[in-house]
Amino acid sequence: MPKLVFFLGPAAAGKTTLAKAIVAKRPAAFLDMDTLSRPAAETIMRLSGLDPNDRDSPIYKQHCRDLGYRITMDAALENVGIGVNTYVVGPFTKEIADPLWLEQELSRAGASLSHIAVKAIYVYLPDEHAYRLRLAERGSVLDAWKLENWAAFSPSLERQDIQWPLPASAKLYVDNSDILSDEKLSMIEGFIYGGAEKDNLRS
């Protein structure tokens, strides 16, 4: 049974870093929503006469956000459909709040939770200060608006519960404020592939 593993959580929590570290040990299809959607988003925003690096305006959210998730999930479903373990990285803020979303997505590929082993890893930091430091340190042009409009952006950093109909053993909440240790990677790897089923991980 192929595995579909979601690395979820706010910007700068470290989703991509964790996912890449696990993929380096256990090769799988790796789909980062930011990477897959960026060419389309830049083109749409540029044709609209707007900043191609904007990821936060109402125009971006209206025309690009859902498109990015559609591109990513179509690629993910195609991979798991041919039996390839697949890691998907993205905030999925709206999606994880919808209990019906996951099963609706799987049904697009004629699959269900009985055909695909879904695991969801929610990566987070303990407070706004930690997020702000990470955003400033990584220096991405995509984060400029977030830092300049902190009061408007920071509510999106609130930790969410995954509402998908998965057993507790298929959901992991990872406080990623400390260093990326071998112990942490081994525990996440165990959660995905067996041998370390935990509901929370705080190293």
Residue 21 has pLDDT above 90, yes or no: yes
pTM comes to 0.91
Structure confidence at residue 81 as a pLDDT band (50, 70, 90)? very high
Domain ranges of the chain: 3-126+159-192
Dist. CA 114–CA 92, nearest whole Å: 22
Q: Tens digit of pLDDT for each residue in 175-199?
A: 999 989 999 999 999 999 985 344 4
Following DSSP, what letter does each residue of 138-201 receive, concatenated?
A: H--GGGHHHHHTHHHHGGGGS-----SS--GGGEEEEE--S---HHHHHHHHHHHHSS---SEE
Residue 113 has pLDDT above 90, yes or no: yes
Average pLDDT over residues 18-35: 96
Share of the chain above pLDDT 90, in %: 80
Radius of gyration of the chain (CA): 17
Residue 201 has pLDDT above 60, yes or no: no
> Structure tokens of 31?
């789909």
* Cα dihedral 98/104/106/107 (nearest 10): 170
* Helices assigned H by DSSP within 26-180: 33-47, 58-60, 66-81, 101-108, 128-138, 144-148, 150-153
> Structure tokens of 92?
């999925």
Contact 203, 178 (CB under 8 A): yes
pLDDT score, position 195: 52
Top-level class of domain 3-126+159-192: alpha beta
pLDDT score, position 55: 84
Residue 104 has pLDDT above 80, yes or no: yes
Residue 100 has pLDDT above 50, yes or no: yes
The pLDDT mean for the chain works out to 92
